[in-house]
Structure formats: C-alpha cells, structure tokens
Amino acid sequence: MGVLNVTPDSFSDGGRWLDPAAAVAHGTEMFSAGAEIVDVGGESTRPGASPVPTEEEIRRVLPVVEALSELGAVSIDTRKAEVAKAAVLAGATIINDVSAELWPLAADTGAGWIAMHMPADPTVMQQHAHYDDVVGEVTDHLMARAEKARAAGVHRVWIDPGIGFGKTAEHNLSLLRHLDALVATGWPVVVGTSRKSFLGHLACRPGEHPPGPDDRLEGTVATTAWAVLQGVDMVRVHDARPALMVTGLARAGMTSNWA
Ligand code: HH2
C-alpha cells in the first residue's frame, strides 16, 4: 500500500501532494512501481495534529480518489464517516480507518475495512501511551473490532497495530517483535512503520541528531522485511519501489529451497 497524503502538514510528505494534479501523478507513479493499493488521506494524524473540517477533507481527497480509482485499487485514510462515504462513492474500495469505528459504513457500502489501533484522538494520544501489556491489549482490541465488523457483514477486514499512535518507541518495538501474535489471530495484518520517528531515534548514535523523515528509508525497509517475514498481509509505505523490492526478497527467502 503506497501512502498519498493530500495535506499541508503530514509528518513526512506534508505539502508535497496538496495540488490534485501532483497527487494524481504521484499515485500513478506508485501504481507503476507496483503498489497494489494507493492510500489517499486528507488529514494528518501525526501526534498533536489539528483536526481538519469534514468539507475541507472531502475537497482535498475527492478528485484524487476519483482519478486514481480509474487506475487501480484506492483506499481512503480517514476517521470520518462522511469522508469515507464520499470517497467510496468516488471509487475507493477500502476504508483505512485509523479510528477503528467505521465498520457499519464498510458493511453498508461493501468496502473492505482496515481497523487500526489508536488509544485516543491524535491531539492527545501520546498522553495515552500507557499499557500493562501492549501486545495483549492491542490484539484484544483489534480482534473485538474485527469480530464486530465480520458480524455486521464486512467481507474484507484487516487489523493494524497502529505503530506510533499513542505508543512510545518501546511499545512500537514490542508490537513489531510480537507481530506473530497478531498474525496468529487469523485476521490479515497491515503494518505501517514508514518514516516514523522511532526509526530515526533507533538509527542514531548517542549524541547524534536523529535523522528526519526523509532519511529513515533504511529503517523503513528493515522493518518492512521483518513484517513480511512475520507473515503480515500488507505494508503501508511512502516509498513503494524499495518496499516492493525488499518484500519480494523476503517472500522469496521464505518460499525458496535455497540451502
Ligand atoms: N499511519 C499513518 C496514517 N495512517 N493507517 C494505517 N492503517 N496504519 C498506519 O500505520 C498509519 C495509517 C501515519 O502516517 P502518514 O499518513 O504518513 O502521516 P500523517 O498522519 O502525518 O499524514
């Protein structure tokens, strides 16, 4: 899944794809690079981000969803039912739901649904980064949502631990270390580590300034390979080509007979 943020303030690509023509060109590029889905978002959910009014979010994403849906599968990254509905009517086939609340809409529209774990609204979520057992709590929460969605009639459901959403670097690492627990639930798993800040902090030596979002490709690629080897179904990344290369390598390594 390739990330396409049509926002002025996303943490890594804010402002780059705000113009609809530039956004469509970048989405087209990601499809050409081999992305199976392009994930269009019109509101940043980085820690502390300001909420975007519904009408403005729809205005940002709609022309982009419409154009890219002609070329391949599009998901809509939102926590608002109105935005998700408008995007599905414009051609999106998956609701990437960072609130894990929108399954009734997925059931009504027949869209696929990704339930992501986020313990509170982005403005305050880092204040909620407290868990006794982060892996168990996130897994239980997502399984309960996925089961509700299945019971409501949603046909395609994925679960996503929400790396970086109301979690410390240590929580993120625990969730990545124990991805097998999420995979063992039997629900297909999505993971998004792409360019996230914990990768920068892990990559630098003591006293060094952590690398910014554009210099976190190595961490993104390493965690993507790890996630694929743990059996996840989908990775959400900004840089489609390197992710596809490492995904292909990891899958070949898992299935080949090379000794
Ligand atoms: N991460 C972000 C946004 N949406 N959706 C899923 N399913 N999983 C994720 O990990 C995830 C997500 C945050 O990344 P990004 O869209 O690049 O940044 P911003 O929220 O600042 O637009």
- Catalytic-labelled residue, pool 196, 205, 216, 251: 196
Q: Evaluate whether 190 touches 183 at the Cβ level (below 8 Å).
A: no
Residue boundaries of the structural domains of the chain: 2-255
Does the C-beta of 44 come closer than 6 Å to ligand 1? yes
Write out the two tokens for 25. 């060109």
Q: Judge residue 192's burial from the number of C-beta atoms within 10 Å of its C-beta, 0-12 exposed, 13-18 middle, 19 or more buried.
A: buried
Establish whether 177 is a catalytic residue.
no
Cα 7 from Cα 139, distance rounded (Å): 30
Does the C-beta of 97 come closer than 6 Å to ligand 1? no
DSSP label of 178:
T
Query: 5 alpha carbon to ligand 1 midpoint, in Å?
Result: 9
Residues of the chain with pLDDT under 50: none
For domain 2-255, is the CATH number 3.60.15.10? no
Establish whether 205 is a catalytic residue.
no
Q: Which amino acid is at 141?
A: H
pLDDT at 252: 86
pLDDT at 257: 63
Q: Which of 1, 7, 10 to mutate to test the pocket of ligand 1 (most atoms within 8 A of CB)?
A: 10
Neighbours of 46 (CB within 10 A): 18
Provide the whole-model pTM.
0.95
Q: Which amino acid is at 86?
A: A
Q: Evaluate whether 173 touches 144 at the Cβ level (below 8 Å).
A: no
SS3 content of the chain, % helix, strand, coil (to 5): 45, 15, 40
pLDDT at 251: 87
pLDDT at 130: 93
Query: Which long-range contacts does 180-187 make (Cβ < 8 Å, 24+ apart)?
Result: 180/230, 180/231, 181/135, 181/136, 181/139, 182/138, 182/139, 182/142, 182/232, 183/230, 183/231, 183/232, 185/139, 185/142, 185/143, 185/146, 185/159, 187/142, 187/143, 187/146, 187/157, 187/158, 187/159
- Give per-residue pLDDT as tens, 41-75: 999 998 888 899 999 999 999 999 999 999 999 99
- Give per-residue pLDDT as tens, 14-38: 899 999 999 999 999 999 999 999 9
pLDDT at 254: 81
Whole-Å CA distances, 184 to 115, 132, 155, 178: 16, 21, 19, 10
Does the C-beta of 190 come closer than 6 Å to ligand 1? yes
pLDDT at 47: 86
